[in-house]
Structure 1
Protein backbone atom coordinates (compact mmCIF):
# COMPACT_ATOMS: atom_id res chain seq x y z
CA UNK A 1 0.00 0.00 0.00
CA UNK A 2 2.82 2.41 0.92
CA UNK A 3 4.63 1.63 -2.36
CA UNK A 4 1.46 2.28 -4.36
CA UNK A 5 0.95 5.63 -2.61
CA UNK A 6 4.57 6.59 -3.35
CA UNK A 7 4.15 5.68 -7.02
CA UNK A 8 0.94 7.71 -7.21
CA UNK A 9 2.74 10.67 -5.64
CA UNK A 10 5.58 10.40 -8.15
CA UNK A 11 3.24 10.20 -11.13
CA UNK A 12 1.26 13.16 -9.80
CA UNK A 13 4.47 15.15 -9.40
CA UNK A 14 5.57 14.25 -12.93
CA UNK A 15 2.19 15.28 -14.34
CA UNK A 16 2.27 18.61 -12.48
CA UNK A 17 5.79 19.47 -13.64
CA UNK A 18 5.04 18.39 -17.21
CA UNK A 19 1.81 20.43 -17.31
CA UNK A 20 3.53 23.45 -15.80
CA UNK A 21 6.26 23.34 -18.47
CA UNK A 22 3.68 23.01 -21.26
CA UNK A 23 1.72 25.96 -19.86
CA UNK A 24 4.87 28.11 -19.86
CA UNK A 25 5.42 27.19 -23.52
CA UNK A 26 1.77 27.96 -24.31
CA UNK A 27 2.12 31.31 -22.54
CA UNK A 28 5.07 32.24 -24.75
CA UNK A 29 3.05 31.40 -27.87
CA UNK A 30 0.12 33.48 -26.55
CA UNK A 31 2.49 36.42 -26.08
CA UNK A 32 3.73 36.00 -29.65
CA UNK A 33 0.12 35.97 -30.88
CA UNK A 34 -0.57 39.25 -29.03
CA UNK A 35 2.57 40.88 -30.47
CA UNK A 36 1.89 39.68 -34.03
CA UNK A 37 -1.89 40.03 -34.38
CA UNK A 38 -2.97 42.50 -31.67
CA UNK A 39 -0.15 45.07 -31.99
CA UNK A 40 0.81 44.85 -28.33
CA UNK A 41 4.41 45.23 -27.14
CA UNK A 42 6.46 43.81 -24.29
CA UNK A 43 6.62 47.33 -22.82
CA UNK A 44 2.86 47.14 -22.32
CA UNK A 45 2.32 43.44 -21.63
CA UNK A 46 5.11 42.75 -19.10
CA UNK A 47 4.02 45.35 -16.49
CA UNK A 48 0.39 44.21 -16.52
CA UNK A 49 1.38 40.54 -16.49
CA UNK A 50 3.69 40.91 -13.48
CA UNK A 51 1.41 43.27 -11.59
CA UNK A 52 -1.78 41.23 -11.98
CA UNK A 53 -0.09 37.83 -11.55
CA UNK A 54 1.88 39.06 -8.53
CA UNK A 55 -1.25 40.47 -6.94
CA UNK A 56 -3.14 37.21 -7.50
CA UNK A 57 -0.30 35.17 -5.98
CA UNK A 58 -0.06 37.47 -2.94
CA UNK A 59 -3.84 37.25 -2.41
CA UNK A 60 -3.67 33.43 -2.61
CA UNK A 61 -0.73 33.49 -0.19
CA UNK A 62 -2.62 35.66 2.33
CA UNK A 63 -5.68 33.40 2.11
CA UNK A 64 -3.45 30.37 2.76
CA UNK A 65 -1.09 31.78 5.38
CA UNK A 66 -2.84 34.74 7.00
CA UNK A 67 -0.47 37.07 8.84
CA UNK A 68 2.41 34.66 8.24
CA UNK A 69 2.28 35.67 4.56
CA UNK A 70 4.05 38.93 5.56
CA UNK A 71 6.88 37.21 7.46
CA UNK A 72 9.41 37.94 4.74
CA UNK A 73 8.96 41.69 5.29
CA UNK A 74 10.02 41.53 8.95
CA UNK A 75 13.69 40.88 8.20
CA UNK A 76 15.51 43.91 6.65
CA UNK A 77 18.21 41.75 5.04
CA UNK A 78 15.62 39.49 3.48
CA UNK A 79 13.67 42.50 2.24
CA UNK A 80 16.77 43.70 0.38
CA UNK A 81 17.24 40.25 -1.16
CA UNK A 82 13.57 40.13 -2.13
CA UNK A 83 13.78 43.51 -3.87
CA UNK A 84 16.90 42.38 -5.72
CA UNK A 85 15.15 39.17 -6.75
CA UNK A 86 12.02 41.02 -7.86
CA UNK A 87 13.86 43.69 -9.84
CA UNK A 88 16.67 41.72 -11.51
CA UNK A 89 15.44 38.13 -11.26
CA UNK A 90 11.75 38.21 -12.09
CA UNK A 91 11.33 41.55 -13.88
CA UNK A 92 14.55 41.24 -15.87
CA UNK A 93 13.76 37.66 -16.81
CA UNK A 94 10.19 38.39 -17.93
CA UNK A 95 10.97 41.60 -19.79
CA UNK A 96 13.94 40.20 -21.71
CA UNK A 97 12.06 36.97 -22.52
CA UNK A 98 8.94 38.64 -23.90
CA UNK A 99 10.98 41.25 -25.76
CA UNK A 100 12.97 38.44 -27.40
CA UNK A 101 9.66 36.83 -28.43
CA UNK A 102 8.57 40.17 -29.87
CA UNK A 103 11.63 40.25 -32.14
CA UNK A 104 11.70 36.52 -32.99
CA UNK A 105 9.29 33.80 -31.86
CA UNK A 106 8.37 31.96 -28.67
CA UNK A 107 10.34 28.80 -29.49
CA UNK A 108 13.60 30.60 -30.22
CA UNK A 109 13.29 32.97 -27.25
CA UNK A 110 12.55 30.12 -24.86
CA UNK A 111 15.49 28.02 -26.05
CA UNK A 112 17.89 30.98 -25.77
CA UNK A 113 16.66 31.56 -22.23
CA UNK A 114 17.63 27.98 -21.38
CA UNK A 115 21.28 28.96 -21.69
CA UNK A 116 20.83 30.18 -18.10
CA UNK A 117 21.76 26.85 -16.41
CA UNK A 118 25.09 26.80 -18.28
CA UNK A 119 25.81 30.35 -17.11
CA UNK A 120 25.08 29.26 -13.53
CA UNK A 121 27.50 26.36 -13.96
CA UNK A 122 30.17 28.75 -15.27
CA UNK A 123 29.51 31.16 -12.40
CA UNK A 124 29.99 28.35 -9.87
CA UNK A 125 33.30 27.37 -11.49
CA UNK A 126 34.53 30.95 -11.16
CA UNK A 127 33.21 31.32 -7.63
CA UNK A 128 34.83 28.10 -6.39
CA UNK A 129 38.00 28.81 -8.43
CA UNK A 130 38.09 25.49 -10.20
CA UNK A 131 38.45 24.47 -13.83
CA UNK A 132 35.35 23.15 -15.62
CA UNK A 133 34.98 19.38 -15.58
CA UNK A 134 34.82 17.46 -18.89
CA UNK A 135 31.00 17.32 -18.89
CA UNK A 136 30.87 21.06 -18.17
CA UNK A 137 33.18 21.78 -21.12
CA UNK A 138 30.90 19.67 -23.33
CA UNK A 139 27.89 21.67 -22.07
CA UNK A 140 29.56 24.99 -22.93
CA UNK A 141 30.57 23.77 -26.41
CA UNK A 142 27.03 22.51 -27.07
CA UNK A 143 25.58 25.84 -25.96
CA UNK A 144 27.94 27.83 -28.18
CA UNK A 145 27.12 25.53 -31.10
CA UNK A 146 23.40 25.94 -30.45
CA UNK A 147 23.66 29.74 -30.34
CA UNK A 148 25.69 29.77 -33.56
CA UNK A 149 23.19 27.58 -35.43
CA UNK A 150 20.13 29.53 -34.24
CA UNK A 151 21.67 32.95 -34.84
CA UNK A 152 23.37 32.30 -38.20
CA UNK A 153 21.87 29.06 -39.60
CA UNK A 154 25.44 27.88 -40.05
CA UNK A 155 26.73 30.88 -42.02
CA UNK A 156 29.76 32.84 -40.85
CA UNK A 157 28.76 35.88 -42.93
CA UNK A 158 25.27 36.88 -41.77
CA UNK A 159 22.74 36.71 -38.94
CA UNK A 160 19.57 34.69 -39.51
CA UNK A 161 18.18 36.07 -36.24
CA UNK A 162 17.76 39.81 -35.72
CA UNK A 163 20.35 41.46 -33.50
CA UNK A 164 17.56 42.62 -31.13
CA UNK A 165 16.21 39.08 -30.74
CA UNK A 166 19.68 37.69 -30.10
CA UNK A 167 20.55 40.45 -27.62
CA UNK A 168 17.36 40.10 -25.57
CA UNK A 169 17.46 36.30 -25.75
CA UNK A 170 21.03 36.13 -24.41
CA UNK A 171 20.28 38.82 -21.82
CA UNK A 172 17.30 36.71 -20.79
CA UNK A 173 19.66 33.79 -20.10
CA UNK A 174 21.71 36.06 -17.82
CA UNK A 175 18.58 37.10 -15.94
CA UNK A 176 17.50 33.44 -15.66
CA UNK A 177 20.82 32.76 -13.94
CA UNK A 178 20.21 35.70 -11.56
CA UNK A 179 16.63 34.49 -11.03
CA UNK A 180 17.93 31.05 -10.03
CA UNK A 181 20.85 32.11 -7.83
CA UNK A 182 19.60 35.28 -6.09
CA UNK A 183 16.74 33.81 -3.99
CA UNK A 184 18.73 30.92 -2.46
CA UNK A 185 18.78 32.48 1.02
CA UNK A 186 15.10 33.40 0.81
CA UNK A 187 14.08 29.91 -0.27
CA UNK A 188 15.96 28.47 2.70
CA UNK A 189 13.75 30.50 5.04
CA UNK A 190 10.38 30.90 3.32
CA UNK A 191 7.88 29.04 1.17
CA UNK A 192 8.82 29.25 -2.52
CA UNK A 193 5.32 30.43 -3.45
CA UNK A 194 5.74 33.34 -1.03
CA UNK A 195 9.17 34.27 -2.42
CA UNK A 196 8.05 34.27 -6.05
CA UNK A 197 4.66 35.83 -5.30
CA UNK A 198 6.14 38.78 -3.42
CA UNK A 199 9.03 39.00 -5.92
CA UNK A 200 6.58 39.18 -8.80
CA UNK A 201 4.52 41.81 -6.96
CA UNK A 202 7.62 43.96 -6.28
CA UNK A 203 8.83 43.50 -9.86
CA UNK A 204 5.40 44.39 -11.20
CA UNK A 205 5.35 47.67 -9.30
CA UNK A 206 8.85 48.53 -10.54
CA UNK A 207 8.12 47.78 -14.21
CA UNK A 208 4.78 49.60 -13.93
CA UNK A 209 6.53 52.76 -12.74
CA UNK A 210 9.26 52.36 -15.38
CA UNK A 211 7.10 51.69 -18.44
CA UNK A 212 3.85 53.41 -17.33
CA UNK A 213 1.76 51.24 -19.69
CA UNK A 214 -1.44 53.16 -18.91
CA UNK A 215 -0.01 55.99 -21.03
CA UNK A 216 0.19 53.75 -24.10
CA UNK A 217 -3.07 53.69 -26.10
CA UNK A 218 -4.07 50.14 -27.01
CA UNK A 219 -7.17 48.65 -28.56
CA UNK A 220 -8.24 45.45 -26.80
CA UNK A 221 -10.94 43.22 -28.25
CA UNK A 222 -12.36 40.10 -26.65
CA UNK A 223 -9.73 37.85 -28.24
CA UNK A 224 -6.86 40.01 -26.98
CA UNK A 225 -8.29 40.06 -23.45
CA UNK A 226 -8.69 36.27 -23.54
CA UNK A 227 -5.05 35.66 -24.49
CA UNK A 228 -3.79 38.25 -21.99
CA UNK A 229 -5.72 36.28 -19.37
CA UNK A 230 -4.05 33.07 -20.60
CA UNK A 231 -0.60 34.66 -20.23
CA UNK A 232 -1.37 35.81 -16.69
CA UNK A 233 -3.36 32.85 -15.31
CA UNK A 234 -1.88 29.88 -17.18
CA UNK A 235 1.62 31.24 -17.83
CA UNK A 236 2.24 32.79 -14.41
CA UNK A 237 -0.02 31.73 -11.54
CA UNK A 238 -1.04 28.20 -12.56
CA UNK A 239 2.23 27.18 -14.25
CA UNK A 240 4.35 28.20 -11.28
CA UNK A 241 1.97 26.62 -8.75
CA UNK A 242 2.09 23.30 -10.62
CA UNK A 243 5.87 23.51 -10.93
CA UNK A 244 6.33 24.12 -7.18
CA UNK A 245 3.96 21.28 -6.30
CA UNK A 246 5.91 19.03 -8.69
CA UNK A 247 9.13 19.88 -6.82
CA UNK A 248 7.36 19.03 -3.56
CA UNK A 249 6.37 15.59 -4.88
CA UNK A 250 9.44 14.40 -6.80
CA UNK A 251 12.27 16.83 -6.03
CA UNK A 252 14.01 19.64 -7.94
CA UNK A 253 16.48 17.58 -9.99
CA UNK A 254 13.82 15.48 -11.75
CA UNK A 255 11.52 18.48 -12.15
CA UNK A 256 14.39 20.45 -13.66
CA UNK A 257 14.79 17.75 -16.29
CA UNK A 258 11.05 17.57 -16.97
CA UNK A 259 10.89 21.36 -17.33
CA UNK A 260 12.85 21.05 -20.59
CA UNK A 261 9.43 20.34 -22.12
CA UNK A 262 8.88 24.14 -22.01
CA UNK A 263 11.01 25.08 -25.06
CA UNK A 264 9.74 22.00 -26.90
CA UNK A 265 6.10 22.96 -26.27
CA UNK A 266 6.81 26.61 -27.15
CA UNK A 267 8.35 25.54 -30.46
CA UNK A 268 5.45 23.19 -31.25
CA UNK A 269 2.87 25.91 -30.51
CA UNK A 270 4.68 28.41 -32.74
CA UNK A 271 4.95 25.94 -35.61
CA UNK A 272 1.49 24.32 -35.56
CA UNK A 273 -0.56 27.26 -34.23
CA UNK A 274 1.25 30.40 -35.40
CA UNK A 275 2.75 28.96 -38.58
CA UNK A 276 6.40 29.76 -37.83
CA UNK A 277 8.85 27.84 -40.05
CA UNK A 278 11.88 26.36 -38.31
CA UNK A 279 14.89 25.39 -40.41
CA UNK A 280 17.09 22.33 -39.94
CA UNK A 281 19.73 24.63 -38.41
CA UNK A 282 17.14 25.92 -35.90
CA UNK A 283 16.21 22.37 -34.89
CA UNK A 284 19.85 21.33 -34.51
CA UNK A 285 20.52 24.44 -32.41
CA UNK A 286 17.49 23.67 -30.24
CA UNK A 287 18.71 20.08 -29.82
CA UNK A 288 22.20 21.22 -28.75
CA UNK A 289 20.85 23.54 -26.05
CA UNK A 290 18.21 21.08 -24.81
CA UNK A 291 20.89 18.38 -24.57
CA UNK A 292 22.81 20.62 -22.15
CA UNK A 293 19.76 20.64 -19.84
CA UNK A 294 19.71 16.86 -19.85
CA UNK A 295 23.47 16.64 -19.17
CA UNK A 296 23.30 19.13 -16.30
CA UNK A 297 20.30 17.33 -14.76
CA UNK A 298 22.02 13.94 -15.02
CA UNK A 299 25.17 15.42 -13.48
CA UNK A 300 23.12 16.48 -10.46
Structure 2
Protein backbone atom coordinates (compact mmCIF):
# COMPACT_ATOMS: atom_id res chain seq x y z
CA UNK A 1 0.00 0.00 0.00
CA UNK A 2 2.83 2.40 0.86
CA UNK A 3 4.52 1.66 -2.49
CA UNK A 4 1.28 2.30 -4.35
CA UNK A 5 0.77 5.59 -2.52
CA UNK A 6 4.34 6.65 -3.39
CA UNK A 7 3.80 5.75 -7.07
CA UNK A 8 0.54 7.68 -7.23
CA UNK A 9 2.22 10.71 -5.62
CA UNK A 10 5.10 10.50 -8.12
CA UNK A 11 2.67 10.37 -11.08
CA UNK A 12 0.71 13.30 -9.65
CA UNK A 13 3.90 15.35 -9.27
CA UNK A 14 4.94 14.42 -12.82
CA UNK A 15 1.60 15.49 -14.28
CA UNK A 16 1.62 18.67 -12.21
CA UNK A 17 5.11 19.41 -13.49
CA UNK A 18 4.13 18.83 -17.13
CA UNK A 19 1.11 21.10 -16.80
CA UNK A 20 3.29 23.65 -15.01
CA UNK A 21 5.80 23.65 -17.87
CA UNK A 22 2.97 24.21 -20.37
CA UNK A 23 1.71 27.15 -18.31
CA UNK A 24 5.28 28.54 -18.10
CA UNK A 25 5.72 28.39 -21.90
CA UNK A 26 2.38 30.14 -22.43
CA UNK A 27 3.33 32.82 -19.88
CA UNK A 28 6.73 33.37 -21.50
CA UNK A 29 5.24 33.70 -24.98
CA UNK A 30 2.49 36.11 -23.95
CA UNK A 31 4.77 38.19 -21.73
CA UNK A 32 7.42 38.20 -24.48
CA UNK A 33 5.06 39.88 -26.94
CA UNK A 34 4.56 42.93 -24.71
CA UNK A 35 7.81 44.75 -25.48
CA UNK A 36 7.39 44.68 -29.25
CA UNK A 37 3.71 45.69 -29.06
CA UNK A 38 4.52 48.51 -26.63
CA UNK A 39 7.35 49.81 -28.80
CA UNK A 40 4.99 50.54 -31.70
CA UNK A 41 2.69 52.53 -29.42
CA UNK A 42 5.57 54.36 -27.70
CA UNK A 43 6.77 55.52 -31.12
CA UNK A 44 3.22 56.73 -31.85
CA UNK A 45 3.32 59.09 -28.86
CA UNK A 46 2.14 57.03 -25.90
CA UNK A 47 3.85 57.43 -22.54
CA UNK A 48 4.96 54.30 -20.65
CA UNK A 49 2.50 54.99 -17.82
CA UNK A 50 -0.47 55.35 -20.18
CA UNK A 51 0.48 52.11 -21.91
CA UNK A 52 0.81 50.20 -18.64
CA UNK A 53 -2.52 51.57 -17.40
CA UNK A 54 -4.32 50.48 -20.56
CA UNK A 55 -2.58 47.11 -20.56
CA UNK A 56 -3.37 46.15 -16.98
CA UNK A 57 -6.76 47.88 -17.03
CA UNK A 58 -7.93 45.90 -20.06
CA UNK A 59 -6.48 42.76 -18.47
CA UNK A 60 -8.38 43.42 -15.24
CA UNK A 61 -11.68 43.86 -17.11
CA UNK A 62 -11.05 40.67 -19.11
CA UNK A 63 -10.49 38.65 -15.93
CA UNK A 64 -13.19 40.23 -13.74
CA UNK A 65 -15.98 37.84 -14.76
CA UNK A 66 -13.96 34.60 -14.61
CA UNK A 67 -12.43 35.66 -11.26
CA UNK A 68 -15.86 36.37 -9.74
CA UNK A 69 -17.11 32.97 -10.92
CA UNK A 70 -14.03 31.28 -9.44
CA UNK A 71 -14.54 32.97 -6.06
CA UNK A 72 -18.12 31.63 -5.82
CA UNK A 73 -19.08 34.15 -3.17
CA UNK A 74 -15.92 33.73 -1.08
CA UNK A 75 -15.37 37.48 -0.92
CA UNK A 76 -13.75 37.12 2.50
CA UNK A 77 -10.60 35.91 0.68
CA UNK A 78 -10.23 39.36 -0.86
CA UNK A 79 -10.72 41.10 2.49
CA UNK A 80 -8.27 38.77 4.24
CA UNK A 81 -5.61 39.35 1.56
CA UNK A 82 -6.21 43.04 0.90
CA UNK A 83 -2.71 44.10 2.00
CA UNK A 84 -1.06 41.33 -0.01
CA UNK A 85 -3.01 42.27 -3.15
CA UNK A 86 -1.99 45.93 -2.78
CA UNK A 87 1.70 45.01 -2.59
CA UNK A 88 1.37 42.48 -5.43
CA UNK A 89 -0.44 44.98 -7.64
CA UNK A 90 2.04 47.75 -6.86
CA UNK A 91 5.31 45.82 -7.25
CA UNK A 92 4.66 42.75 -9.42
CA UNK A 93 2.16 44.38 -11.79
CA UNK A 94 2.24 48.18 -12.05
CA UNK A 95 5.83 48.70 -10.89
CA UNK A 96 7.30 45.87 -12.94
CA UNK A 97 5.51 46.82 -16.17
CA UNK A 98 6.07 50.56 -15.74
CA UNK A 99 9.79 49.93 -15.30
CA UNK A 100 9.95 47.59 -18.29
CA UNK A 101 8.10 49.94 -20.65
CA UNK A 102 10.34 52.81 -19.58
CA UNK A 103 13.30 50.58 -20.40
CA UNK A 104 11.82 49.68 -23.80
CA UNK A 105 11.41 53.39 -24.52
CA UNK A 106 15.20 53.84 -24.15
CA UNK A 107 16.62 50.43 -25.10
CA UNK A 108 16.05 47.82 -27.81
CA UNK A 109 13.47 45.28 -26.66
CA UNK A 110 15.99 42.41 -26.59
CA UNK A 111 18.42 44.35 -24.37
CA UNK A 112 15.68 45.46 -21.96
CA UNK A 113 14.38 41.91 -21.50
CA UNK A 114 17.87 40.43 -21.13
CA UNK A 115 18.62 42.80 -18.26
CA UNK A 116 15.23 42.10 -16.66
CA UNK A 117 15.84 38.37 -16.81
CA UNK A 118 18.66 38.43 -14.35
CA UNK A 119 15.57 37.85 -12.16
CA UNK A 120 16.10 34.07 -11.78
CA UNK A 121 19.47 34.73 -10.14
CA UNK A 122 17.76 37.20 -7.77
CA UNK A 123 15.11 34.56 -6.98
CA UNK A 124 17.78 31.97 -6.16
CA UNK A 125 19.61 34.49 -3.95
CA UNK A 126 16.39 35.21 -2.09
CA UNK A 127 15.73 31.53 -1.57
CA UNK A 128 19.29 31.08 -0.27
CA UNK A 129 18.84 33.94 2.18
CA UNK A 130 15.49 32.63 3.36
CA UNK A 131 16.59 29.01 3.74
CA UNK A 132 20.20 29.73 4.81
CA UNK A 133 21.67 27.72 1.93
CA UNK A 134 25.23 28.65 0.98
CA UNK A 135 25.94 28.86 -2.77
CA UNK A 136 27.82 25.95 -4.34
CA UNK A 137 30.94 26.36 -6.45
CA UNK A 138 28.91 25.66 -9.59
CA UNK A 139 26.47 28.37 -8.65
CA UNK A 140 29.29 30.90 -8.17
CA UNK A 141 30.69 29.98 -11.59
CA UNK A 142 27.24 30.44 -13.14
CA UNK A 143 26.80 33.82 -11.47
CA UNK A 144 30.20 34.98 -12.78
CA UNK A 145 29.32 33.84 -16.32
CA UNK A 146 25.95 35.61 -16.08
CA UNK A 147 27.60 38.86 -14.96
CA UNK A 148 30.11 38.63 -17.82
CA UNK A 149 27.26 38.08 -20.24
CA UNK A 150 25.37 41.05 -18.84
CA UNK A 151 28.42 43.27 -19.36
CA UNK A 152 28.55 42.20 -23.01
CA UNK A 153 24.80 42.70 -23.45
CA UNK A 154 25.17 46.24 -22.13
CA UNK A 155 28.27 46.67 -24.33
CA UNK A 156 29.97 48.52 -21.49
CA UNK A 157 33.26 48.58 -23.36
CA UNK A 158 31.80 50.94 -25.96
CA UNK A 159 31.26 54.25 -24.16
CA UNK A 160 27.77 55.65 -24.48
CA UNK A 161 26.47 52.62 -26.38
CA UNK A 162 23.64 51.87 -23.96
CA UNK A 163 21.34 54.32 -22.18
CA UNK A 164 22.20 54.12 -18.47
CA UNK A 165 18.78 55.33 -17.37
CA UNK A 166 17.20 52.65 -19.53
CA UNK A 167 19.35 50.02 -17.81
CA UNK A 168 18.21 51.26 -14.39
CA UNK A 169 14.59 50.97 -15.49
CA UNK A 170 15.26 47.43 -16.74
CA UNK A 171 16.81 46.54 -13.37
CA UNK A 172 13.67 47.89 -11.71
CA UNK A 173 11.67 45.54 -13.93
CA UNK A 174 13.98 42.72 -12.82
CA UNK A 175 13.11 43.36 -9.17
CA UNK A 176 9.39 43.32 -9.95
CA UNK A 177 9.79 40.15 -12.02
CA UNK A 178 11.66 38.34 -9.24
CA UNK A 179 9.04 39.49 -6.73
CA UNK A 180 6.28 38.06 -8.97
CA UNK A 181 7.87 34.60 -9.12
CA UNK A 182 8.45 34.45 -5.36
CA UNK A 183 5.09 35.67 -4.07
CA UNK A 184 2.80 34.15 -6.72
CA UNK A 185 4.03 30.63 -5.92
CA UNK A 186 2.49 30.60 -2.44
CA UNK A 187 -0.91 28.97 -2.04
CA UNK A 188 -1.36 29.54 1.69
CA UNK A 189 -3.38 32.72 1.09
CA UNK A 190 -6.16 30.65 -0.49
CA UNK A 191 -6.46 32.88 -3.55
CA UNK A 192 -7.07 30.92 -6.80
CA UNK A 193 -4.54 31.87 -9.54
CA UNK A 194 -7.09 33.69 -11.69
CA UNK A 195 -8.29 35.67 -8.66
CA UNK A 196 -4.73 36.64 -7.72
CA UNK A 197 -4.04 37.76 -11.29
CA UNK A 198 -7.30 39.71 -11.55
CA UNK A 199 -6.80 41.28 -8.12
CA UNK A 200 -3.23 42.32 -8.91
CA UNK A 201 -4.21 43.83 -12.25
CA UNK A 202 -7.16 45.68 -10.69
CA UNK A 203 -5.11 47.09 -7.80
CA UNK A 204 -2.27 48.01 -10.15
CA UNK A 205 -4.70 49.84 -12.44
CA UNK A 206 -6.23 51.82 -9.56
CA UNK A 207 -2.87 52.80 -8.08
CA UNK A 208 -1.36 53.81 -11.42
CA UNK A 209 -4.53 55.68 -12.35
CA UNK A 210 -4.37 57.64 -9.10
CA UNK A 211 -0.70 58.43 -9.74
CA UNK A 212 -1.70 59.82 -13.13
CA UNK A 213 -4.54 61.89 -11.68
CA UNK A 214 -2.25 63.64 -9.21
CA UNK A 215 0.43 64.19 -11.85
CA UNK A 216 3.07 61.77 -10.58
CA UNK A 217 3.35 60.06 -13.98
CA UNK A 218 2.75 61.23 -17.54
CA UNK A 219 -0.44 59.83 -19.08
CA UNK A 220 0.05 60.91 -22.70
CA UNK A 221 -1.79 58.86 -25.33
CA UNK A 222 -2.37 59.05 -29.07
CA UNK A 223 -4.91 57.80 -31.59
CA UNK A 224 -2.24 57.52 -34.31
CA UNK A 225 -1.77 54.03 -35.75
CA UNK A 226 0.99 51.86 -34.31
CA UNK A 227 3.71 50.90 -36.79
CA UNK A 228 5.40 47.49 -36.82
CA UNK A 229 8.08 47.00 -39.49
CA UNK A 230 6.12 48.79 -42.25
CA UNK A 231 2.75 47.42 -41.07
CA UNK A 232 0.37 49.90 -39.44
CA UNK A 233 -2.53 48.87 -37.19
CA UNK A 234 -5.11 50.87 -35.27
CA UNK A 235 -3.99 51.94 -31.79
CA UNK A 236 -6.93 50.11 -30.23
CA UNK A 237 -5.86 46.80 -31.80
CA UNK A 238 -2.42 47.05 -30.19
CA UNK A 239 -3.89 48.15 -26.84
CA UNK A 240 -6.43 45.30 -26.86
CA UNK A 241 -3.68 42.78 -27.63
CA UNK A 242 -1.54 44.23 -24.84
CA UNK A 243 -4.38 43.93 -22.34
CA UNK A 244 -5.84 40.54 -23.21
CA UNK A 245 -2.79 38.59 -24.43
CA UNK A 246 0.15 40.15 -22.57
CA UNK A 247 -1.68 40.95 -19.31
CA UNK A 248 -4.72 38.73 -18.69
CA UNK A 249 -3.32 35.56 -20.29
CA UNK A 250 0.27 36.11 -19.16
CA UNK A 251 -0.42 36.83 -15.49
CA UNK A 252 -2.89 33.96 -15.06
CA UNK A 253 -0.57 31.47 -16.76
CA UNK A 254 2.41 32.85 -14.82
CA UNK A 255 0.68 32.30 -11.48
CA UNK A 256 -0.36 28.77 -12.49
CA UNK A 257 3.24 28.02 -13.52
CA UNK A 258 4.73 29.38 -10.29
CA UNK A 259 2.34 27.33 -8.15
CA UNK A 260 2.89 24.14 -10.11
CA UNK A 261 6.69 24.42 -10.37
CA UNK A 262 7.77 26.66 -7.49
CA UNK A 263 9.44 30.08 -7.83
CA UNK A 264 12.92 28.85 -8.77
CA UNK A 265 11.98 26.50 -11.60
CA UNK A 266 9.24 28.83 -12.85
CA UNK A 267 11.69 31.74 -13.04
CA UNK A 268 14.20 29.50 -14.80
CA UNK A 269 11.64 28.53 -17.46
CA UNK A 270 10.67 32.18 -17.61
CA UNK A 271 13.95 32.69 -19.49
CA UNK A 272 12.01 31.54 -22.54
CA UNK A 273 10.50 35.03 -22.45
CA UNK A 274 13.88 36.35 -23.60
CA UNK A 275 13.76 34.12 -26.68
CA UNK A 276 10.17 35.08 -27.43
CA UNK A 277 10.95 38.78 -26.95
CA UNK A 278 13.90 38.65 -29.37
CA UNK A 279 11.81 36.80 -31.97
CA UNK A 280 8.84 39.18 -31.66
CA UNK A 281 11.14 42.22 -31.77
CA UNK A 282 12.70 40.85 -34.96
CA UNK A 283 9.35 40.01 -36.59
CA UNK A 284 7.45 43.15 -35.56
CA UNK A 285 10.19 45.78 -35.31
CA UNK A 286 13.12 44.47 -37.32
CA UNK A 287 15.31 44.74 -34.21
CA UNK A 288 18.22 42.41 -33.59
CA UNK A 289 21.03 42.84 -31.05
CA UNK A 290 24.61 43.35 -32.25
CA UNK A 291 26.81 40.26 -32.52
CA UNK A 292 28.66 41.07 -29.27
CA UNK A 293 25.32 41.53 -27.50
CA UNK A 294 24.01 38.23 -28.88
CA UNK A 295 27.15 36.57 -27.49
CA UNK A 296 26.50 38.29 -24.16
CA UNK A 297 22.91 37.08 -24.20
CA UNK A 298 24.05 33.49 -24.72
CA UNK A 299 26.51 33.85 -21.82
CA UNK A 300 23.88 35.48 -19.61
CA UNK A 301 21.32 32.76 -20.22
CA UNK A 302 23.99 30.06 -19.90
CA UNK A 303 25.15 31.52 -16.61
CA UNK A 304 21.64 31.54 -15.21
CA UNK A 305 21.20 27.91 -16.29
CA UNK A 306 24.43 26.98 -14.49
CA UNK A 307 23.19 28.83 -11.39
CA UNK A 308 20.05 26.71 -11.52
CA UNK A 309 22.10 23.51 -11.95
CA UNK A 310 24.25 24.38 -8.94
CA UNK A 311 21.29 25.21 -6.70
CA UNK A 312 20.63 22.71 -3.89
CA UNK A 313 17.44 20.74 -4.28
CA UNK A 314 14.76 21.69 -1.73
CA UNK A 315 14.51 19.20 1.12
Residue 148 of structure 1 and its aligned partner are, at CA, apart by 0.9
Q: CA–CA distance in 1 between the matches of 2:169 and 2:248? A: 24
1:142 equivalent to 2:145? Answer yes
Compare the two structures and name the one with the higher helix fraction: 1
The answer to whether the Cα contact below 8 Å between 1:84 and 1:182 also exists between their aligned partners in 2 is: no
**Of 94, 97, 104, the match for 2:97:** 94
Residue 54 of structure 1 and its aligned partner are, at CA, apart by 2.0
Distance 1:181 1:9, change over 3 A: closer
Aligned partner of residue 97 in structure 2, secondary structure = helix
Aligned CA-pair RMSD: 3.2
Q: CA–CA distance in 2 between the matches of 1:288 and 1:247? A: 25
1:281 equivalent to 2:285? Answer no
Deviates more, 1:189-198 or 1:96-105: 189-198
**Of 259, 268, 275, the match for 1:264:** 275
Residue 255 of structure 1 and its aligned partner are, at CA, apart by 4.9
5+ residue gaps, structure 1: none
Aligned to 1:51: 57
Distance 1:151 1:261, change over 3 A: same
**TM-score between the two structures when normalised by the length of structure 2:** 0.80
Q: CA–CA distance in 1 between the matches of 2:134 and 2:36? A: 39
Question: Any residues of structure 2 matched to 1:64-103 within 5 Å, and which?
Answer: 64-68=70-74, 70-75=75-80, 78-103=81-106
Question: Any residues of structure 2 matched to 1:150-229 within 5 Å, and which?
Answer: 150-152=153-155, 155=157, 158-183=159-184, 188-212=189-213, 216=220, 218-221=222-225, 223-229=234-240
**TM-score between the two structures when normalised by the length of structure 1:** 0.83
Q: CA–CA distance in 2 between the matches of 1:19 and 1:164? A: 30
Q: CA–CA distance in 2 between the matches of 1:9 and 1:175? A: 26
Equivalenced residue count is 292
Aligned partner of residue 222 in structure 2, secondary structure = coil
**Of 28, 41, 56, the match for 1:34:** 41
Q: CA–CA distance in 1 between the matches of 2:257 and 2:125? A: 27
Q: CA–CA distance in 2 between the matches of 1:74 and 1:286? A: 43
1:17 equivalent to 2:24? Answer yes
Q: CA–CA distance in 1 between the matches of 2:184 and 2:206? A: 19
5+ residue gaps, structure 2: 1-7, 226-232
